Amino acid sequence: MTAPLIDPFARPISYLRVSVTDRCDFRCVYCMSENMTFLPKKELLTLEELDRMCSTFIRLGVEKLRITGGEPLVRKGIMTFFQNMRRHLDSGALKELTLTTNGSQLRKFAGELAECGVRRINVSLDTLDDQKFADVTRWGKLAQVLDGIDAAQAAGLRVKLNAVALKGFNEDELFTLTEFCAARDMDLTWIEVMPMGDLGNEDRLDQYWPLSDLRKRLAERYTLTDLAERSGGPARYVRLEETGQKIGFITPLTHNFCESCNRVRLTCTGELYMCLGQEDMADLRAPLRSSDSDAPLEGAIRAAIGRKPKGHDFDYSRQAVDGQMTRHMSHTGG
Ligand code: SAM
Ligand code: SF4
């Protein structure tokens, strides 16, 4: 049997997040600049190469695959990839196939995703106000996303909303968004804005709404029960007793979650990032393309996991963004 992937801190790596494109039909202000230069096509892993990469990770013990981007559903032919991944669900090697999406293409693809064995999806949505949605996504239309969520639920997909907590932007929608999700039986996870990309440090600090404050405000209206459940990632969960829904908090800046980290991230060009908050990465495309055998790729994956760092260094505490990454979030897929 193939030995599973265990990092130097004895953490088994069972979760792979894969960015399948750097492109997107939105230009969210905290994620991309308005004029992005995207990668030339030849740099991208082909759909066949993505399949080989993911299948190798699955053979090495990855049980959960999250497809992200950029916007994964704008990648041409991506449904073929999902259809092919189904074989790993059917064999039992893969326990979960899921994606994070901005929701714009769900009307078109929700049914097919369900047929491919996708059961749950994350949809990113920060506001329920048309104008604010247009402002934060620059190019997005709220109605299209809401319609996409309807389509996903109608197809039987369980939807969780992810909202980036933005000071002065969606603070006033804390309860509206909570109630919107409760009415549709959706969980909601809040994400602290992270210092990614090169959009300027000041912007980041202005936008930073600590989830400790958000949680306090939520507790003024609801009874919060802490849930022990951890996903191996940065989310912590509470249940709102009044609605029964789960609310998640992703606080990479104020909490240390690294000790239970079980994940790595693959970019659309085949770079493996062992930690979202560190620059170190391994090129897996070269070993993949170097041979028809998966042996060089497998060796490169094992070597990379052997370098997975203990944790990251984001820190806003000194009113300057330390440990800031120059990568855009769309590069590693969040
Ligand atoms: N396009 C898809 C979407 O928006 O869901 C998938 C990719 S997107 C990069 C993944 C997640 O990262 C989204 O929930 C988005 O809100 C979040 N994100 C992007 N930039 C961020 C930042 N600077 N801080 C925190 N979250 C961010
Ligand atoms: Fe696109 Fe998602 Fe980034 Fe928004 S957060 S620009 S939807 S990749």
- What's residue 258's pLDDT? 78
- What is the 3 state secondary structure string of the chain? CCCCCECCCCCECCEEEEECCCCCCCCCCCCCCCCCCCCCHHHCCCHHHHHHHHHHHHHCCCCEEEEECCCHHHCCCHHHHHHHHHHHHHHCCCCEEEEEECCCCHHHHHHHHHHCCCCEEEEECCCCCHHHHHHHHCCCCHHHHHHHHHHHHHCCCEEEEEEEEECCCCHHHHHHHHHHHHHCCCEEEEEECCCCCCCCHHHHHHHECCHHHHHHHHHHHCCEEEECCCCCCCEEEEEECCCCCEEEEECCCCCCCHHHCCEEEECCCCEEECCCCCCCEEECHHHHHHCCCCHHHHHHHHHHHCCCCCCCCCECCCCCCECCCCCCHHHHCC
- What pLDDT, in 10s, does the model give residues 21-47? 999 999 999 999 999 999 999 999 999
126 lines ligand 2 (CB under 6 A): no
29 lines ligand 1 (CB under 6 A): no
Which of 313, 300, 235 has its CA nearest to residue 271? Answer: 300
Report whether pLDDT(316) > 50: no
- What's residue 331's pLDDT? 62
The CA 229 to ligand 2 mean position distance, Å, reads: 27
Report whether pLDDT(97) > 50: yes
Report whether pLDDT(275) > 90: no
68 lines ligand 1 (CB under 6 A): yes
Asked whether residue 244 is marked as a ligand-binding residue, the answer is: no
> How sure is the predictor about 234, in pLDDT bands with cuts at 50, 70 and 90?
confident
Q: At what angle do helices 78-91 and 106-115 cross, to 10 degrees?
A: 30
Q: How much is the average pLDDT of 144-157? A: 98
For the CA of 194, the nearest atom of ligand 1: 24
C-alpha 334/C-alpha 69 separation (Å) is: 8
- Residue 265 contacts residue 272 (beta carbons within 8 Å): yes
329 lines ligand 1 (CB under 6 A): yes
Of 53-62, 150-159, 182-191, 196-205, which gets the smallest average pLDDT? 196-205
Asked whether residue 268 is marked as a ligand-binding residue, the answer is: no
Q: Atom 17 in ligand 1: which residue has the minimum CA distance?
A: 334
140 lines ligand 2 (CB under 6 A): no
Which of 243, 190, 237 has its CA nearest to residue 221? Answer: 243
Asked whether residue 263 is marked as a ligand-binding residue, the answer is: yes
Q: Atom 5 in ligand 1: which residue has the minimum CA distance?
A: 101
Q: Which residues contact 108 (CB under 8 A, 6 or more apart)?
A: 73
> How sure is the predictor about 317, in pLDDT bands with cuts at 50, 70 and 90?
very low
Asked whether residue 124 is marked as a ligand-binding residue, the answer is: yes
Q: How much is the average pLDDT of 298-310? A: 94
Answer whether CATH 3.40.50.2020 is correct for domain 15-332.
no
- Name the pTM for this structure: 0.92
For the CA of 27, the nearest atom of ligand 2: 6
21 lines ligand 1 (CB under 6 A): no
Asked whether residue 54 is marked as a ligand-binding residue, the answer is: no
